[in-house]
Amino acid sequence: MYRVIIIGAGIVGLSIARVLSRFENLKITVIDKNPDVGWGVSKANTSIIHPCHEEDPDKHPLRTKLCLEGHNIWYKWVRELDIPNRWPGEIIVATNEDEYHVLKHYLELARRNNVPGVRIVDGEELFKLEPSINRSSIAGLYAPSAGSIDPVQACIALAENNVDNGVRFVLGEKVVDIVVKDKHVKEVVTNNNVYEADIVINAAGLFADEIARMVGINDYIIYPRRGQYILFDKTASPKPDKIIHTTPTPKTKGVYVLKTIEETLLIGPTAEDLSIEEKEANIVTKEGISFILENAKKIIEKLPPMNLVIRTFTGIRPEPPNGSYILRFHEEPWGFVEAAGIRSPGLTAAPAIAYYIKNLISQHIDLKLKKKWIRIRKGIIKIKDLSRIERNNLIKQNPKYGRIICQCMGVSEAEILEAINRMRKIGVKETTLDGIKFRTHSMYGRCQGTFCRPLISLIVSRETGLEPWKVSFKGGNSTYGIGFVKELFMKR
């Protein structure tokens, strides 16, 4: 039995855990410094499963290959793991002749990558395909196979399926050292414990270079690239059915305008290269918001009024040297495996990266398939998605489905209780409001939890025994349930 430790519970680490959980001679533990899964790079991105017509097979052959393979795997995984998804297709919008030539370049890449159905559309066909596109646009490159998923819900789904298949989670512990003896990895040391290991897989996102240096590998640096976003209320319109975005640049795929899984309007991101010291500089800036709005206005006929903005936020993604993924099994120290530098299209490529890592490991040890492996995972039942008859029947079985806690998103008490139980199942040590939010989409709506957050805090208090004002928003001391009310009065 080989003891495998995966550092990082993001979309890449969790995908690797799922693929490796199929083998009976691997004992897998996933460690992450965050209180819950998917709270690093995976939490804040554009959520797109890319068609892969924007990947250059000459400059980045491996990245292109994994993007194409990952895209196809996601079709299967979203069904098996009950992950919310939509596949509307995407359009790169050209507003002038120079940008039109860019479309031709990506059309050629689509042909070389065998991406199906990609074509240039113009004139009335463009506006018929997506009526919300700015009427001054001259053409678009349509890729019908583009999709969108909820990345945090994907992480949650993978984690739950991993637990069903014997994977153990250690959350809220930061890796501080990796012990190497006789040129083999032997132990992973966290701020709380020491874990024995035969294989260590580095899927630590922005901090993968720091993990690598713990075993003496210092041949690369991961730089942070910040992306800011604007999120509108679900009543905002126009809301494109297709995913639309500006023409890509060497740095970024462009500014997107899209309808999210929750049917809100999302625009962004920026692409700001930061210094190595700014890996956690996830701030929103006036300049960033202005950049997003200026670029979005070029491709959409009319943006909603700003009073419908419900949130601005930032994600920071890893940028590796030359934009290349770092995927390798080290002979010295033996057993140290890297899945590092996973920049865009990392979400798309994640399942294929997992199989690539599995193949690397299989070259060094003999992997033995389990006789029984659980493929299917079911998500939380959402009362708002059911028909009237189905709702009535469910409420008869469990009246808590009839008590709506989050009015904006139609989330019931039963769903919140289910989320709490599922957090416990994967080893979340502290029930957080963010954990409930990502599992149920409560606090996602127009009021961003202003009305339902105290009610949810009281439910958490009842279920955990924690005092209501100590219910944490993000874990630790981030009390933002009804705790901020108590703090206000204590200061007066």
Q: Are residues 469 and 399 in the same domain?
A: yes
The 10s digit of each residue's pLDDT in 22-41 is 999 999 999 999 999 999 99
CA distances from 113 to 62, 76, 248 (A): 12, 21, 17
Q: Are residues 78 and 182 in the same domain?
A: yes
Q: Token pair of 24, please?
A: 């009976």
Q: DSSP letter at 301?
A: S
Q: How far apart are CA 418 and CA 52, in angstroms?
A: 36
CB 25 within 8 A of CB 368: yes
Q: Are residues 159 and 297 in the same domain?
A: no
Looking at the DSSP bridge assignments, the partners of residue 142 are: 91, 119
CB 80 within 8 A of CB 25: no
Q: Are residues 361 and 249 in the same domain?
A: no
Give the amino acid at 47. S
3-class SS string, 59-94: CCHHHHHHHHHHHHHHHHHHHHCCCCEECCCEEEEE
Q: Token pair of 9, please?
A: 């519970």
Domain closes at, from 290, 319, 348:
319
Q: What is the pLDDT of residue 490?
A: 44
For the chain, what is the mean pLDDT? 95
Q: What is the pLDDT of residue 469?
A: 87
Q: Token pair of 158, please?
A: 């993978």
Q: What is the pLDDT of residue 249?
A: 82
Characterize 12-39 residue by residue with b for buried, 16 or more Cβ atoms within 10 angstroms of its Cβ, and e for exposed: bbbbbbbbbbbbeebbbbbbbbbbbbbb
The 10s digit of each residue's pLDDT in 401-452 is 999 999 999 999 999 999 999 999 999 999 999 999 999 999 999 899 989 9
Q: Are residues 422 and 397 in the same domain?
A: yes
In this structure, what CATH number is given to the domain that contains residue 139?
Answer: 3.30.9.10
The 10s digit of each residue's pLDDT in 182-225 is 999 999 999 999 999 999 999 999 999 999 999 999 999 999 99
Q: Is the pLDDT of residue 70 over 50?
A: yes
Confidence of residue 65 (pLDDT cuts 50, 70, 90): very high
Q: Are residues 314 and 229 in the same domain?
A: yes
Q: DSSP letter at 247?
A: P
Q: What is the pLDDT of residue 281?
A: 92
pLDDT average, residue stretch 241-263: 92
Q: Are residues 374 and 390 in the same domain?
A: no
Q: How far apart are CA 183 and CA 141, in angstroms?
A: 51
pTM of structure: 0.96
| Secondary structure element (H or E) that encloses residue 268, with its range | strand 265-268
Q: DSSP letter at 198?
A: S
pLDDT average, residue stretch 63-68: 98
Q: Are residues 372 and 394 in the same domain?
A: no
Q: How far apart are CA 270 and CA 251, in angstroms?
A: 10
The domain total for the chain is 3
Q: What is the pLDDT of residue 359?
A: 98
Confidence of residue 482 (pLDDT cuts 50, 70, 90): low
Q: How far apart are CA 189 and CA 287, in angstroms?
A: 41
Which residue of the set 50, 53, 71, 330 is catalytic? 50
Among the listed residues 466, 460, 452, the one whose alpha carbon sits nearest the alpha carbon of residue 412: 452
Q: How far apart are CA 34 and CA 173, in angstroms?
A: 7
Domain closes at, from 342, 360, 379:
379
Q: Are residues 227 and 307 in the same domain?
A: yes
> Does the annotation count 330 as an active-site position?
no
Looking at the DSSP bridge assignments, the partners of residue 122 are: 139
For 340, the domain range is 1-85+146-220+321-379
User: What is the end-to-end Cα distance of the chain in Å, rounded?
Assistant: 60
The 10s digit of each residue's pLDDT in 319-363 is 999 999 999 999 999 999 999 999 999 999 999 999 999 999 999
Q: Is the pLDDT of residue 228 over 60?
A: yes
Among the listed residues 7, 36, 332, the one whose alpha carbon sits nearest the alpha carbon of residue 195: 7
Neighbours of 209 (CB within 10 A): 25
Q: Are residues 299 and 430 in the same domain?
A: no
CB 329 within 8 A of CB 358: no
Q: Token pair of 426, please?
A: 């994967």
Q: How far apart are CA 222 and CA 204, in angstroms?
A: 11
In this structure, what CATH number is given to the domain that contains residue 53?
Answer: 3.50.50.60
Give the amino acid at 203. A
Please provide residue 320's backbone torsions phi and psi, each rounded to the nearest 5 degrees: -85, 170
Three-state secondary-structure class, residue 354:
helix
Confidence of residue 475 (pLDDT cuts 50, 70, 90): confident
Strand order in the sheet with 147-149: 48-49, 147-149, 85-86
Q: Is the pLDDT of residue 253 over 90?
A: no
| Secondary structure element (H or E) that encloses residue 455, with its range | helix 452-464
The 10s digit of each residue's pLDDT in 107-155 is 999 999 999 999 999 999 999 999 999 999 999 999 999 999 999 999 9
Among the listed residues 214, 145, 172, the one whose alpha carbon sits nearest the alpha carbon of residue 34: 172
The secondary structure of the chain in percent helix, strand, coil, rounded to multiples of 5, reads 35, 25, 40
Q: Please name the residues in contact with 22: beta carbons below 8 A apart, sequence gap of 6 or more.
A: 165, 369, 370, 373
Domain closes at, from 334, 362, 379:
379
Q: Is the pLDDT of residue 394 over 50?
A: yes
Q: Token pair of 350, please?
A: 């994640």
Q: Check whether the bond before 57 is cis (ω within 30° of 0).
A: no
CB 458 within 8 A of CB 468: yes
Q: Are residues 73 and 177 in the same domain?
A: yes
Among the listed residues 363, 336, 299, 10, the one whose alpha carbon sits nearest the alpha carbon of residue 187: 336
pLDDT average, residue stretch 81-85: 97
Cα 307 to chain centroid distance, Å, stands at 27
Q: What is the pLDDT of residue 492?
A: 38
Q: What is the pLDDT of residue 480?
A: 54
Q: Are residues 153 and 294 in the same domain?
A: no
Please provide residue 101's backbone torsions phi and psi, each rounded to the nearest 5 degrees: -65, -30
